[in-house]
Every structure is written in structure tokens, then in C-alpha cells.
């Protein structure tokens, strides 16, 4: 029963976080807002049911905004009109989902296992810092940029930092008061004495933040009140969501361009980028899961593929696992995937039945919720713990953060992975071969696998050995030697006679010796 309460409470928090993101991402992508809402509902219900993750939450992703904008522009150029573009995009999203099913079938989810932990933690911290930087303008009442824009170079021509300077020169006093009050409420909810109260489990802090924001704006004087849609959640009537013609029919997918290479290029791009972002978010979600459960990556690809098939069928945006919503879910105390599924039901129910109520919510209240999520992702304790792990972990962590902040999520991750792999190779490079000297005897010990990566180190160590000494080559802990290392050892044995070196080779057995020194590289 206690888990059900936590999941119910968490679902409300995720709903409050997801709503402005669904609207903002749709607007930034140049599609009707209903396309973002459809993706949010499908990500919650369809993906939530199929996914094996207990924490991850799916929906439209900011990482695909640029791709969607470029795809719509290319399609418009191809067909000469923007009429029916949403239906063609829906067909591409649907087929991208089918392609993701094949990714899962061919076990491509294992790609996520090769991402260094320090890079994943860097991604989490970067998302946290991004949330704070991107939501501060909304907190002070400057809502020029969309909620879902996470890129450094923004769609309004500004970047993350120049937007901040503009925002603080256009402050709305009541928005600031609502935002700061919202942050204080969430801080109080974190106090141990409040956490122990049963009522605090039923009433999540973000819900109080939203209700207080509505109340503060409602009772404010006319000179303080936030009026109109400028700084408020803005959900249009359902009858106008598909383009203003009053039709409530879904824009069913249009496959008329299926023979064009351009169409399939868009399909492949959506499938690959959506899959990568989902796998990255899945890995990150597992890291913040308090129960440390491991989610099946290939099943996630099946779930995401199924979600995109349904979203494309209904005219929605592409669906991916999203770390912002997943983080909000974990921080709200979610125990099972019920919270992700319920948040999808809240989206469709509240938007359909109570759009007027949602339009009373000040953006500053929602930004306070997202800023607090960002703080919990990028706590100073995380930086301290990574620093204590050594430079091999700390540098990839920090470089990933900087790269994401100055570019975008996927490019930043790519930079972080390059740096992370460098340190992995460097660590293995030094650990694979060690040299211990005692008097005139020198022990060269080989560990794990000796490959061409260790070639330079081995040649250097062998060259430095003094003439007339005894050299012990210890292979007892080595499981594999490639041809490059084997050639160096054979050449060294020839030179050893000239340098008056006594060479002794140690193996665990004769079969071990034959396997390492005589068999071809596997």
C-alpha cells in the first residue's frame, strides 16, 4: 500500500513536469501542441506498460527538436507545401518505431553497456545544471524561450547565458515571488520531520507549489497580477489543436513519400537518435534508482519502438525515454512503473477535461519545480564524490558536463565518451604490463590481455633493461597475447643473446604456453 501511495504521488509530480515540456517541445518543433501531448500520453501509457524500467519515463524529447524542424523543412521543400506535413511526419515516426523493434530484435541495446559510468553521471549533472540555467528566465517571468529547449544555441537566436542576462533585465515581481516560494516549499518538504508525516506522502510538494502559484496570482492586486497568456501555461481548446479547423480527427500517417530516399533518411535518423537518447536515459535512470535495479535495454528498444508506432499512427511526435521526467519520477519517490503509466492518464484526462484550470498555472511555479529537480541532479556532493575517484573519473565527468552545456545532449555525450574511453585505455595500458626490479633480476609481469595498445610500453621497458641481467617474463596472469606483442617477445629473445640477458618465461602450464605463444590471434 505504501508503494502505491508513493507511485500515485510521483505520478502527479511527473505530470506537472511533463505538461509544460510536452507543450514547449511541440511548439519548438513547429508542430501543433497536441502532437507533443499525444507523445506524452503514449510515452506514459504504451511505453510505460511495455518497458522493463521502474523509473524511466518517456515522451517527446528536446534532443529531437532540431531534427524535427529540419525534417519538416526538407519535406516542405520536396512537396512544395506545408499542408499535410504532420501526416507525413507521422508515417516517418511510425516506420522509425518499426526500425527500433528490429534494433531490439538484433540485441543492439547492449551499446549502452559501453558508456563509462563517469560519462553517465556527467550527463545527469549537466541536465541538472541545464534545468537551472534554462528555467531561471521563466522563474523571473521571462518566457521568450520554450520550456523544452535544451540546446546552447536557442531557437530565438540567443544562447543559454545571453538569455539569462536578458531575463534579469525583464523581471516580473510576482513571478519571482511565486518561484522563490515554490523553491522554499520543496526545500521544506525535504526536511526529515516533514518526510515522516503520512500526509506529505499523499500531497507532493510540486502540487502545493502549483496551487500556491495559482492562489498567489489570483489574490494579487491588479498592478501585480500576471494577466493573459504571457507568463501562464497556455493550452488551446481541443477543437483548435489540430490546426484550427474545428476537426477532432487524428492526422493519420501519410505514406505517399515512401519511395523517396529523403523520407527514409528521416526515418533512419529518428530511429537512431531516439534509440540512443532512450538508452542513455535508461542507463542514467538506473543510476538514480534507489533500489539499483537494472533495466533490460533490448526490451526498452521494443517499448520505444511500440510507442513510436502508436504515436506516429495518431500524429504525435517521436517518443524517447527522457531523463528530466525520469529524474523527477525518481526524486518523487516512485517505486514501480505505475507512476509513469498514471502520468500518461493524467495528461489525457486533465488536458481534455480541465484545460481552463491548467491555464491558471503561472510558468514560474512550474519552473520552480524543474529547478529543484535540476538541483537534485547536480548536487555538490556528486562533484565531490567524482573528484575523490581520481582524475580518470573526474575529467570525463567534467568534460561531459561542459560539452553538453555548450552544445547539446548527444554531442556532449559523444565528447564525454571519447574522453572516457581515453582514460579506460590509458588505465588498461599501464595495468596490463608491470616491471619490478630486484638487484640484477627484473620481473616483467603480463596481466589480463596484452595487445598492440601495450606495444610501445613493452618495447620501452625491454630496451631499458641493463645488459647481463636476468629477465623473468611472467605470463601466469595473462589470458591473451596478440601478434604484435608476440613478435616483440620473439625479437627480444634474439637480441637477449647479444646483450647477455638471461630470459626465463613463466606459464601456468604447457597448454597455457602453447595457447599464448604459438596459437594465432583469435
- What pLDDT score does 427 carry? 64
CB under 8 Å to 405, separation ≥6 — which residues? 126, 129, 130, 133, 152, 160, 412
Across residues 218-245, what is the average pLDDT? 70
- What pLDDT score does 431 carry? 63
How many other CB atoms are found less than 10 A from the CB of residue 518? 8
- Which tens digits make up the pLDDT trace of 95-135? 999 999 999 999 988 887 778 888 888 988 998 999 899 99
Question: How many whole angstroms separate alpha carbon 307 and alpha carbon 319?
Answer: 6
Across residues 369-374, what is the average pLDDT? 91
Across residues 202-223, what is the average pLDDT? 87
Q: Please report the domains of the chain, with CATH numbers, ordered by start residue.
A: 2-400 (no CATH), 432-517 (3.30.750.24)
How many other CB atoms are found less than 10 A from the CB of residue 359? 13
pTM above 0.85, yes or no: no
Map residue 70 onto helix, strand or coil.
helix
Q: What is the mean pLDDT of the chain?
A: 86
pLDDT of 197 over the 80 cut:
no
Closest CA to 139 of 180, 186, 100, 90: 180
* Selection from 113-117, 344-348, 485-489, 490-494 with the highest mean pLDDT: 344-348
CB 274 within 8 A of CB 308: yes
Grid coordinates given for 412:
556532449
CA triple 461-465-468, angle to 5 deg: 160
- Which tens digits make up the pLDDT trace of 431-463? 678 888 888 899 998 887 777 777 777 888 888
Across residues 148-152, what is the average pLDDT? 73
Q: Which of 78-82, 233-237, 318-322, 391-395 has the lowest mean pLDDT?
A: 233-237
Grid coordinates given for 459:
618495447
Question: How many whole angstroms separate alpha carbon 438 and alpha carbon 139?
Answer: 67
Grid coordinates given for 378:
547536480
CB 90 within 8 A of CB 270: no
Residue 30: how many CA atoms within 13 Å on its side-chain side? 16
pLDDT of 247 over the 80 cut:
no
What percent of the chain shows pLDDT beyond 90? 39
55 confidence band (pLDDT: 50, 70, 90): very high
- What pLDDT score does 248 carry? 47
Grid coordinates given for 58:
518517456
CB 138 within 8 A of CB 369: no
pLDDT of 519 over the 60 cut:
no
Which helix (H) or strand (E) segment is 509 a member of? Answer: none
- Which tens digits make up the pLDDT trace of 490-509? 888 888 888 999 999 998 88
pLDDT of 323 over the 50 cut:
yes
Grid coordinates given for 454:
601495450
- Which tens digits make up the pLDDT trace of 159-178? 888 888 888 888 889 999 99
CA triple 98-330-108, angle to 5 deg: 30
pLDDT of 416 over the 80 cut:
yes
Amino acid at each position: 500500500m505504501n508503494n502505491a501511495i508513493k507511485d500515485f504521488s510521483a505520478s502527479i509530480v511527473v505530470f506537472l513536469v511533463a505538461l509544460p515540456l510536452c507543450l514547449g517541445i511541440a511548439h519548438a518543433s513547429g508542430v501543433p501542441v497536441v502532437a507533443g501531448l499525444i507523445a506524452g500520453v503514449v510515452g506514459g501509457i504504451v511505453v510505460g506498460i511495455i518497458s522493463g524500467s521502474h523509473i524511466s519515463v518517456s515522451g517527446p524529447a528536446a534532443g529531437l527538436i532540431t531534427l524535427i524542424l529540419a525534417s519538416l523543412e526538407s519535406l516542405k521543400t520536396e512537396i512544395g507545401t506545408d499542408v499535410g506535413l504532420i501526416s507525413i511526419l507521422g508515417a516517418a515516426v511510425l516506420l522509425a518505431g518499426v526500425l527500433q523493434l528490429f534494433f531490439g530484435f538484433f540485441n543492439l541495446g547492449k551499446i549502452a553497456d559501453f558508456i563509462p559510468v563517469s560519462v553517465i553521471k556527467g550527463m545527469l549533472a549537466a541536465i541538472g545544471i541545464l534545468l537551472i540555467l534554462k528555467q531561471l528566465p521563466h522563474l523571473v517571468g521571462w518566457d521568450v524561450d520554450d520550456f523544452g529547449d535544451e540546446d546552447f544555441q536557442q531557437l530565438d537566436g540567443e544562447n543559454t547565458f545571453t538569455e539569462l542576462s536578458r531575463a534579469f533585465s525583464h523581471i516580473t515581481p510576482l513571478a519571482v515571488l511565486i518561484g522563490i516560494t515554490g523553491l522554499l516549499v520543496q526545500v521544506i518538504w525535504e526536511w526529515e520531520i516533514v518526510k515522516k508525516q503520512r500526509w506529505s506522502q499523499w500531497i507532493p510538494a510540486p502540487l502545493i507549489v502549483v496551487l500556491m502559484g495559482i492562489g498567489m496570482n489570483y489574490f494579487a492586486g491588479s498592478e501585480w497580477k500576471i494577466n493573459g497568456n504571457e507568463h501562464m501555461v497556455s493550452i488551446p481548446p481541443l477543437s483548435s489543436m489540430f490546426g484550427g479547423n474545428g476537426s477532432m480527427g487524428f492526422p493519420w500517417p501519410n505514406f505517399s513519400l515512401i519511395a523517396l530516399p529523403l523520407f527514409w533518411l528521416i526515418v533512419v535518423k529518428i530511429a537512431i537518435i531516439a534509440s540512443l537518447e532512450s538508452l542513455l536515459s535508461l542507463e542514467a535512470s538506473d543510476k538514480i534508482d534507489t533500489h539499483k535495479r537494472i533495466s533490460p535495454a533490448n526490451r526498452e528498444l521494443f517499448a520505444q519502438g511500440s510507442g513510436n508506432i502508436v504515436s506516429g499512427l495518431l500524429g504525435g511526435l517521436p517518443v524517447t525515454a527522457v531523463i528530466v521526467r525520469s529524474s523527477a519520477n525518481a526524486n518523487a519517490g516512485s517505486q514501480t512503473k505505475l507512476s509513469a503509466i498514471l502520468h500518461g492518464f493524467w495528461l489525457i484526462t486533465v488536458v481534455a477535461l480541465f484545460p481552463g484550470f491548467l491555464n491558471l498555472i503561472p510558468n514560474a511555479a512550474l519552473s520552480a519545480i524543474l529547478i529543484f529537480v535540476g538541483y537534485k541532479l547536480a548536487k555538490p556532493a556528486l562533484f565531490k564524490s567524482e573528484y575523490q575517484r581520481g582524475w580518470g573519473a573526474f575529467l570525463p565527468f567534467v568534460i561531459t558536463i561542459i560539452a553538453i552545456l555548450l552544445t547539446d545532449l548527444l554531442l556532449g555525450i559523444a565528447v564525454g565518451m571519447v574522453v572516457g574511453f581515453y582514460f579506460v585505455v590509458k588505465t588498461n595500458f599501464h595495468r596490463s604490463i608491470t616491471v619490478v626490479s630486484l638487484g640484477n633480476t627484473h620481473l616483467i609481469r603480463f596481466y589480463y590481455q596484452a595487445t598492440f595498445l601495450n606495444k610501445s610500453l613493452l618495447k620501452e621497458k625491454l630496451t631499458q633493461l641493463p645488459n647481463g641481467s636476468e629477465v623473468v617474463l611472467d605470463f601466469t596472469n595473462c589470458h591473451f597475447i596478440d601478434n604484435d606483442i608476440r613478435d616483440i617477445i620473439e625479437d627480444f629473445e634474439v637480441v637477449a643473446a647479444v646483450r647477455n640477458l638471461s630470459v626465463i618465461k613463466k606459464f601456468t602450464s604447457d597448454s597455457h604456453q602453447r595457447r599464448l605463444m604459438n596459437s594465432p590471434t583469435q
